Amino acid sequence: MKMYVAETEKSVKNIVVDDMILTTDMPTSAGSRMLDGYMSLFEAQAVTKLKEAGYTVYAKANTGEFNLDLLGETSYYGAVEADGKLTTAAAQAVKTGETMAAVTLEVNGSGARAAALSGLVYVKPTYGTVSRFGTIPAVCSGETVSVTAADAATAKEVLWAIKGHDDKDGTSLPQEKCVADEVKEIKKVAIAKSLAAGEDAAKLEAVKAKLTAQGVEVVEIDAGELLLAKPAWNILMSAELCNNVSKYDGVKYGYRTPNYTDLDQLYTNSRTEAFGYLTKSTVLFGSETLSEANYYKVYDKAQRIRRVISEYLMKTFGEFDAVLGLVSSKSEYTLAQAQENKYIAYDESLYIAPAMITGIPVVVTGGVQLMGAPLTEAALLALAETL
Amino acid sequence: MKYETVIGLEVHVELATKSKIFCSCSAEFGAEQNDHVCPACSGMPGMLPIVNKRVVDLGMTAGMMLNCDINRVTTFDKKSYYYPDLPNAYQTTQWFSPICVNGRVDIETSKGPKSIRIKQIHMEEDAGKLVHDDWTDTTLVDFNRTSVPLIEIVSQPDISSAEEAIAYLERLRDLLRFAKVSDCRWEQGSMRCDVNLSIRPEGSDVLGVRTEMKNMNSLSAITRAIKYEIARHTRALETGCEELVQETRRWDDNEGKSYAMRNKETAGDYRYFPDPNIMPVVIDDEWLDRIEKSLPELPEVKRARYIDEMGLSEYDADILASSRALCDVFEDALAVCGNAKETANWIITECMQVLNKKKMTADMLAISGTSLGQLIKLVMEDKVSRPNAKRILAAMFENDIPDVEAYAKQSGFIVSNDTSFIENIVKEVIAADPKSVADFKGGKEKALMALFGKCMKQLKGNANPQVLREILIAEINKI
């Protein structure tokens, strides 16, 4: 299940990081044959901060290729199944108690989905509060280093260990914002009907009941605007990924095909042989969306939608302390389902897209997600602790 | 039919920063291959770009020198293309909101004055360099130049001849060097030029088919290339011997011909989009003011001031105003010693002599003007003799000498005012050379010079020549 184990003694505070987070004592492959066995010269800021706080980063969890997929099914190293159900290596390591927490790079929702389906607590903090230095770039405008743990208190402890301003990341927020942990009491929560349809609707009802019992007012809102997030996110994701993986050409590092007689063949065959179908599709789609003919028709529109959704959410958070929704349409997935529907990750990003595209914090608990205004992850986690 | 030429130039200038645009690697030219390389500028995954503020400073400075408007919010964008010298497979540049727009450069040609409008100036990173080895038939990549900061200055198609193009490029080079934006050395590739050219019937307002010649790196080659292309376009239009197409051409200066590289159909689609890892750079009033205050006087303004206010000759003023380094040393030295003519002489004669010996150009004059001023003052006050002052000047080229008088004292270069000491030396010299004394008394003026020279040597040059001469004559007369 897990790919690499560092040559360190396990301690009481063991952390697993995923295959998008660079370490210098274990290879980092982004779940891709392209980076099979790639050893970085430097480690991620998140890893440095974990070590400084006394955690042991002892193993690296397998991911889907560039973390674009549903639940790790596109990994070059194989998918992870538990009781016949698809899950991620990171979530499984937490679920089995092998690690106290997993630190992963959330790109397209696989971290949130795995936590929801495994009954774990997950937090994707506000964009810019954890440095992305030393993470393999996939979708830089949204991807965020996130934490999965068995309970909210542990998730918070580990998240606060990796938060902080970093001069090596130009999108890093000022220190006081990064570590803001003011907990405003959550009194009013909205259920976004646009994100409430799915097999796990019962989980939503359960959380609603618990909240109501605590005296939290729960109101249903349409939130149809949030449905725009998915297509916009798909466009931005493909555009950025296409650009970010262009540099993997088999020349300086990474996989190189043995089948070539000239430079063009070296590039083409290396990429053809090393990238999986989802990466290839995403590259083609992204290349098309960024082309001169389509930029204003497609990419630029997606950026405008990003702003519209941001404005809508900020308005909503003026009225509600959190917005509740599902994380996936089904309550479980098999490997066969994921392989059958090759673009299932594009479809299922419906639920996580609003948070990915705007950078707002998300906490997953009880199989559902709580979205909050920027920098309210402490409040969301505090609420999650009571659920 | 008579035709007129329409030329627009895109000029790349490497900025004079110590480090690269997005990492802390040295941007210096001439290092061992791949010495100035880190995970960021060699495209290793996981590094993030951090904008070098100095690059923005110099971008603004260039814009102000060329009368541009400065965009107060300026962004960086990614330009995607594959090439082995581009380790990220994209170049970070400015596409949507360049730092400077709408500028102007005034030129002077045989046809009189003219203004060339500047469309925009944008900041970007340079690519690496491919080194071809014919012997082993291999190509190697040198990443030292990767991510070295550049600005690209894009003119409007306002240029109508090779002469105007050269006048524009020379003026551009003068202004940018004066503002210390770049050393603008064609031969080191820190200044390069793309020429966009088309021709059309005289008086027409429709542009003809445009061709672009990339990476031109000398003024003479640019002149030849423009003349060749004008002739080729004219011939094509007049005889129909070839169909002009919009394309990029390569100029072969040895053969004196241009060759088609790629046309519109095969041109790359660069898929520009904003770089999400670089936040927009916001230029506030304080930043703008700071750069505005740091702008130098234009060379022609300095020249006029040197002549009108300081009384220098046109010749001296021309030389000084040709280089910012000379002007800086001149003005700093003048502030200390107060004598413009003397200061100009020291720079134009003595300093240039040392520079020539060291095979350095005027721009490389790096001595402290304040120290030079102190030295000139000591000479003017007869505290240090000229020959010894030259020795001190030579020492200034090796090490910084902040207190010149202390240095002169320590090195035994202070002129002696002790006349009895001088008299004793003179007596010794006279006693040892009765022949010269006799010759002088017999009317040979030259003999006095020989004695004078011997005395000066004994005194290590530390005597006022006038005083020494008087004492020498007095002592001889006593005999």
Assign residue B457 the CATH number of its domain: 1.10.10.410
Q: Considering B254, B282, B310, which residue would you say is the last residue of a domain?
A: B282
Nearest CA in chain B to A128: B277
Does B290 map to a domain? no
**Min CA distance, A332 vs chain B (Å)?**
33
Say if residue B254 is exposed, middle or buried (CB neighbours under 10 Å; 0-12, 13-18, 19+): exposed
Residue type, position B130, single letter: L
Q: B140 and B159 in one domain?
A: yes
Tell me the pLDDT tens digit for each residue of A303-335: 999 999 999 999 999 999 999 999 999 999 999
Tell me the pLDDT tens digit for each residue of A180-222: 998 999 999 999 999 999 999 999 999 999 999 999 999 999 9
DSSP string covering A78-120, please? --EEETTEEE-HHHHHHHTTSSSEEEEEESSSHHHHHHHHHT-
The pLDDT value recorded for residue B477 is 85
C-alpha span between A303 and A305 (Å, rounded): 5
Q: B188 and B39 in one domain?
A: yes
C-alpha span between A70 and A349 (Å, rounded): 8
Which tokens hold the place of A8?
């360190």
Does B180 map to a domain? yes
Q: B198 and B128 in one domain?
A: yes
CB contact under 8 A, A134 and B46: yes
Q: B193 and B323 in one domain?
A: no
Does B74 map to a domain? yes
The answer to whether B271 faces chain A, any CB pair under 8 Å, is: yes
The pLDDT value recorded for residue B435 is 86
Q: B380 and B264 in one domain?
A: no
Averaged pLDDT score across all residues of chain A:
95
Does B179 map to a domain? yes
pLDDT in tens, chain B (479 residues): 899 999 999 999 999 999 999 999 999 988 999 999 999 999 999 999 999 999 999 999 999 999 999 999 999 999 999 899 999 999 999 999 999 999 999 999 999 999 999 999 999 999 999 999 888 888 999 999 999 999 999 999 999 999 999 999 999 999 999 999 999 999 888 999 999 999 999 989 899 999 999 989 999 999 999 999 999 999 999 898 888 999 999 999 899 999 988 776 666 789 999 999 999 999 999 999 999 999 999 999 999 999 999 999 999 999 999 999 999 999 999 999 999 999 999 999 999 999 999 999 888 898 999 999 999 999 999 899 888 999 999 999 999 999 999 999 988 888 877 788 888 888 888 888 888 888 888 888 888 888 888 888 888 888 888 888 888 888 888 87
Which tokens hold the place of B129?
């360099």
**Residue of higher predicted confidence among A359 and B432:** A359
The answer to whether B42 faces chain A, any CB pair under 8 Å, is: yes
Helix (H) or strand (E) holding B104: strand B100-109
C-alpha span between A172 and B337 (Å, rounded): 52
Chain A to chain B, count of Cβ pairs less than 8 Å apart?
Answer: 88
- B133 strand-pairing partners: B138
pLDDT of A253 above 70: yes
The pLDDT value recorded for residue A7 is 67
Q: B428 and B400 in one domain?
A: no
Does B289 map to a domain? no
CB contact under 8 A, B39 and A41: yes
Q: B269 and B208 in one domain?
A: yes
Nearest CA in chain B to A134: B46
3-state class of A127 per DSSP? coil
Measured in residues, chain B has a length of 479
Does B288 map to a domain? no
Q: B428 and B384 in one domain?
A: no
CB contact under 8 A, B50 and A246: no
Give chain B's domain count: 3
Tell me the pLDDT tens digit for each residue of A60-96: 999 999 999 999 999 999 999 999 999 999 999 999 9
Asked if A30 contacts A136 with a C-beta cutoff of 8 angstroms, the reply is yes
The pLDDT value recorded for residue B149 is 97
Query: Residue B174: which domain range?
Result: 3-282
3-state class of A371 per DSSP? strand
Which tokens hold the place of B301?
């303004």
- B109 strand-pairing partners: B112
Give the orientation angle of helix B53-65 with respect to helix B285-294, to 10 degrees.
Answer: 60
Q: B271 and B334 in one domain?
A: no
C-alpha span between A305 and A299 (Å, rounded): 10
Q: Considering B410, B434, B462, which residue would you say is the last residue of a domain?
A: B410
Q: B321 and B255 in one domain?
A: no
Does B291 map to a domain? no
CB contact under 8 A, A243 and B90: yes
Does B287 map to a domain? no
The answer to whether B80 faces chain A, any CB pair under 8 Å, is: yes
E runs forming strands in A231-374? 322-325, 362-365, 368-371
- In chain A, residues with a C-beta closer than 8 Å to the C-beta of B37 are none
Nearest CA in chain A to B141: A252
Measured in residues, chain A has a length of 387
B181-206 CB burial, b ≥16 within 10 A, e <16: bbbbbbeebbbbbbbbbbbbeeeeee
Interface test with B, best of A237, A244, A294 (most B CBs within 10 A): A244
Q: B160 and B48 in one domain?
A: yes
The pLDDT value recorded for residue B267 is 66
Q: Considering B410, B441, B462, which residue would you say is the last residue of a domain?
A: B410
The pLDDT value recorded for residue A2 is 55
The pLDDT value recorded for residue B265 is 62
CB contact under 8 A, B89 and A41: no
**Min CA distance, B84 vs chain A (Å)?**
9
Query: For residue B282, how many other CB atoms are within 10 A of its CB?
Result: 9
The answer to whether B78 faces chain A, any CB pair under 8 Å, is: yes
pLDDT of A255 above 60: yes
Smallest CA-to-CA distance from A299 within B78, B88, B279 is with B78
pLDDT of A1 above 60: no
The pLDDT value recorded for residue A3 is 65
- In chain A, residues with a C-beta closer than 8 Å to the C-beta of B42 are 252
By DSSP bridging, strand A14-18 and strand A56-61 are parallel
Nearest CA in chain B to A267: B82
Domains in chain A, ordered, with CATH? 2-228+304-386 (3.90.1300.10)
CB contact under 8 A, B48 and A42: no
C-alpha span between B471 and B463 (Å, rounded): 11
Residue type, position B17, single letter: T
Mean pLDDT, residues A262-267 taken together: 94
Q: B135 and B13 in one domain?
A: yes
Interface test with B, best of A24, A34, A252, A266 (most B CBs within 10 A): A252
The answer to whether B48 faces chain A, any CB pair under 8 Å, is: yes
The pLDDT value recorded for residue B234 is 94
Smallest CA-to-CA distance from A136 within A4, A234, A254 is with A254
By DSSP bridging, strand A368-371 and strand A362-365 are antiparallel
The answer to whether B267 faces chain A, any CB pair under 8 Å, is: no
